[in-house]
A and B are shown apart, each in its own frame.
Chain A
Amino acid sequence: MEIGNLQRRYLDFASTLFHEGFLDNQFTQLQQLQDESSPEFVLEVVTLFFEDSEKLLDELSRTLNQQAVDFKKVDAHVHQLKGSSASIGAQRVKNVCVAFRNCCEEMNQEGCLRCLRQVRNEYFLVKNKLETLFALEQQIVAAGGSVPMMW
């Protein structure tokens, strides 16, 4: 596929991610930090986010499925997930975390389990979107083009 088409496809895809609220301005800020001295910066940070989040989701599942739930522990994990999702601009994940913390405060196990399902869904959605975005970038570069800026 011709470079121009690939670039257009990339820009269209990227803008829907912002319009649909998957990503917010924080992600753009990270993209702006990427340059020749740190050409893989966004990929590195997002990869750390994937690793961190999957560990946290597993921990949350374990903690919430105990007989006696330690809500303080659940809250600490959600706080961490909220922080890291905010740091990379994963807006929808962050928003579910806000609701999740409310359930923790109310010590509502059912509510928390519901939130966990939601946050897991949102996480895998954004992970999929980001992987697609990076794949589109790689296609452009492989075709000899440069990835267009979105700002």
Chain B
Amino acid sequence: MRDRYPACSINWLVVDRRAAMSSPARGETEAIHVLAVDDSSVDRAVIAGLLRSSKYRVTAVDSGKKALELLGMQEPNVNMIITDYWMPEMTGYELLKRVKESSKLREIPVVIMSSENVPNRINRCLEEGAEDFLLKPVRPSDVSRLSSWIR
């Protein structure tokens, strides 16, 4: 980079570092911000890795409660929520409902993930306003579908 754009090198480094502080994305400052919600540390790491490799900026939390806290901030700047279905205390479905009931949050697309293929569950989520339902384990091809839901 430095060799090709010597005049811009300093600006580029500052911009890169800022992006790195929020999450190690590949240098995109205006990257789409995805909030990933999953109580499993393994699944959180996997979904974050999948999303980051597709150049999304990722914030990963382990509960619906934490997700709502983050979303309740002044400028959450979240472009999409991807949440696991089965979580203790608040399921992904309950989180979806809270998001869709909120005038501030309802425009944010929500995608549900689950390790179980239960048609009733899938339909209920889609009816409640989820954009998509992904079966775990999530793969790169699933992540490439997500771009169609980003507004």
Contact = CB atoms under 8 A, between A and B. Distances in A.
A52 B115 CA distance: 17
B137 interface: yes
Contacts of A44: 45
B24 A48 contact: no
B46 A30 contact: yes
Interface stretch (B48-56, B73-81, B126-134): B48-56
A29 B45 contact: no
Interface in A68-125: 79-80, 82-84, 86-89
A86 B45 contact: no
B26 interface: yes
B140 A29 contact: yes
A44 B133 CA distance: 27
A48 B41 contact: yes
A45 B139 contact: no
A83 to B, nearest CB: 5
Interface residues of A, number: 24
A5 interface: no
Given A26-B137, A38-B24, A79-B86, A52 B40 contact: yes
A45 B45 contact: yes
Interface string A31-43: 0110101100100
A18 interface: no
Contacts of A83: 40, 42-43, 115, 136
B26 A29 contact: no
A87 B50 contact: no
Contact of B50 (A33, A35, A79, A89): A33
Interface string A6-48: 0000000000000000000010011011010110010011001
Contact of A84 (B25, B43, B52): B43
A136 to B, nearest CB: 22
Contacts of B140: 29, 32-33
Contacts of A84: 40, 42-43
B146 to A, nearest CB: 15
A82 B53 CA distance: 25
Contacts of A48: 41-42, 45
Contact of A52 (B42, B49, B136, B137): B42
Given A33-B50, A84-B40, 6 more contacts: A33-B49, A45-B45, A49-B42, A82-B115, A84-B42, A87-B136
A30 B49 contact: yes
A29 B99 CA distance: 31
